Amino acid sequence: MQLYLGVLIFSFIVTALLIVPFIDFLYRMKLVRKEEKKEVRKLATPELAIIRAKHDLKAGTPTGLGILLVLVIAGLFIILFPTLLLPKVGASLVSNFPMTRELVVIFVTFVGFALLGTYDDIMKVFGFAKNGFFGLRRWHKFAIQWAIALICGGMLYWGLNIHFIYLPFIGIWDLGIGYLFLAAFLIVTFANAFDITSGLDGLGEGLLMICLSAFWVISMSQLDQVLSLFIAIWIGSLLAGIYFTIYPARAFLGNASGMAFGATLAIVGLLSGKFVPMLIVGGVFLLDGGSSLLQILSKNIFKRRIFPIAPLHHWLELVGWEEPKIVARAWLTGLVLAIFGVWLALL
C-alpha cells in the first residue's frame, strides 16, 4: 500500500507542477473552445439550440488539457514500471499475467485511443474539418476504434490467454474466440460512453475517479500489483486535473484523454476479470452514453426521437437542473454503484 500511495502522490505532484504552465500554453496557442456560429445553430432542433446557447458561455475556455494528462500518465508508466526504475529501488511486482504482456495491453490501448482522440481535438480546434484537411468521417473513426479495440482484444485473448468471464452466483463462462469480440465491443463502448459523458464540467472526470478507486480496491485484493500501480499513476494525475475541470471549468480535457480514459477503463475491468462488476461500476457512463445510442438508432430506424434531447445529462439541463446539481448527483449515483460493484467483485 505504501508503494501505491507513494506513486499516486508522485503522479499528482508532477501533474500539478505542469498543469498551470500547460493551460497558459493552451491560451497562448489559442487552443480554446469556439463559439458556435449562428447559422449552424439555426440547423439544430429547438432543444439542442437551448443547450448550445447555455454552453456558449464556455467559449474561450482552453481545451486539450487531457493531452498533458495522457503524456504524464504514459511517461510515468514507462519510467516507474519494472523495466526501468522499480528494480533499482528493490521493488518486486506480482501480476496475474505475464508482466510484459500485461503492460503492453494497457499501453497500446491507452496510447492508441489517445492518438485517435488527439486527431479529433486538432480537427475541431483548428477547423480542419471545415477545410477538408485529412478529414475522416464519423464511420471512418468508428472503424479505427474497432480496429484498435480488436488488436487489444486479441492481446487479451492470445497474449494473456483470457477467454472466459465470471458471472456472480453462476460461475465461469468460457467464450472461446467470442471473448475477443466481447472485449473489443466493451472497449469501444466505454471509449465513446466516457467521451459523451464528459459534456459537463467535471462530470466524466469525477465518475472516472470513482470507477478507478473501485478497481484499485479490486486489483489490490487480487494482488495484481502491475494493475494497481498503473491505476495509482492514473488517479494521481487525474486528481490534479480535476481541480481545473470542475464547474466552472478553467480547462477542458478534450477528446485525447476522453477516448484513452474510456477505452483503458474497459481494459482495467477486463484485466480484473470482473465482467458484471465492471458494468455496474461504470453504470453511469453506460446509461448516459447509451441514451445517445438509443436516440441515434431511433432516429435512423423509426425516424423519431425517444428523448427530447440526448445524452441524458443534456435532457436534465433542458428540464431545468443546474450543471453542478447534475454533476453532484451523477457522482453520488456512481459512488453507490461503485460500492455495490466492489462488494459483488469481492464475493
Of 87-96, 279-288, 298-307, least confident by mean pLDDT is 87-96
Between 53 and 304, name the one with better pLDDT: 304
Lookup result for grid cell 473552445: 33
Say how many Å lie between the first and final Cα of the chain, rounded: 22
- Average pLDDT on 174-184 reads 94
Check: CB of residue 107 under 8 Å from CB of residue 136. no
Residue type, 167: L
* Nearest of 214, 196, 328 to residue 261 by alpha carbon: 196
Q: Are 233 and 73 contacting, i.e. CB atoms less than 8 angstroms apart? A: yes
C-alpha to C-alpha distance for 110 and 115, rounded to whole angstroms = 9
Residue 41 confidence (pLDDT) above 70? no
What CA–CA distance (Å, rounded) separates 326 from 314? 9
Distance CA 284, CA 289 (A): 8
pLDDT for residue 302 is more than 50: yes
pLDDT in tens, 218-270: 999 887 888 999 999 999 999 999 999 999 899 999 888 889 999 999 999 99
What one-letter code names the amino acid at 78?
Answer: I
| Segment among 27-41, 64-78, 137-151, 312-326 with least mean pLDDT | 27-41
The predicted model gives 139-146 an average pLDDT of 86
150-168 per-position pLDDT tens digit: 999 999 999 999 998 888 8
**Parallel, antiparallel or unpaired: strands 171-174 and 164-167:** antiparallel
**Residue percentage of the chain with pLDDT more than 70:** 89
In the chain, domain spans: 2-345
As a whole number of angstroms, the distance between CA 337 and CA 347 comes to: 16
- Give the number of residues written for the chain: 347
Statement: the pTM of the whole predicted model exceeds 0.95: no
137 or 297, which is more confident?
297
pLDDT at 37 over 70: no
Reduce the secondary structure of the chain to three states and give it as a string.
Answer: CHHHHHHHHHHHHHHHHHHHHHHHHHHHCCCECCCCCHHHHCCCCHHHHHHHHHHHHHCCCEECHHHHHHHHHHHHHHHHCCCCCHHHHCCCCCCCCCHHHHHHHHHHHHHHHHHHHHHHHHHHHHCHHHHCCCCCCHHHHHHHHHHHHHHHHHHHHHHCCCCEEEECCCEEEECCCHHHHHHHHHHHHHHHHHHHHCCCCCHHHHHHHHHHHHHHHHHHHCCCHHHHHHHHHHHHHHHHHHHHHCCCCCCECCHHHHHHHHHHHHHHHHHHCCHHHHHHHCHHHHHHHHHHHHHHHHHHHCCCCCCCCCCHHHHHHHCCCCHHHHHHHHHHHHHHHHHHHHHHHCC
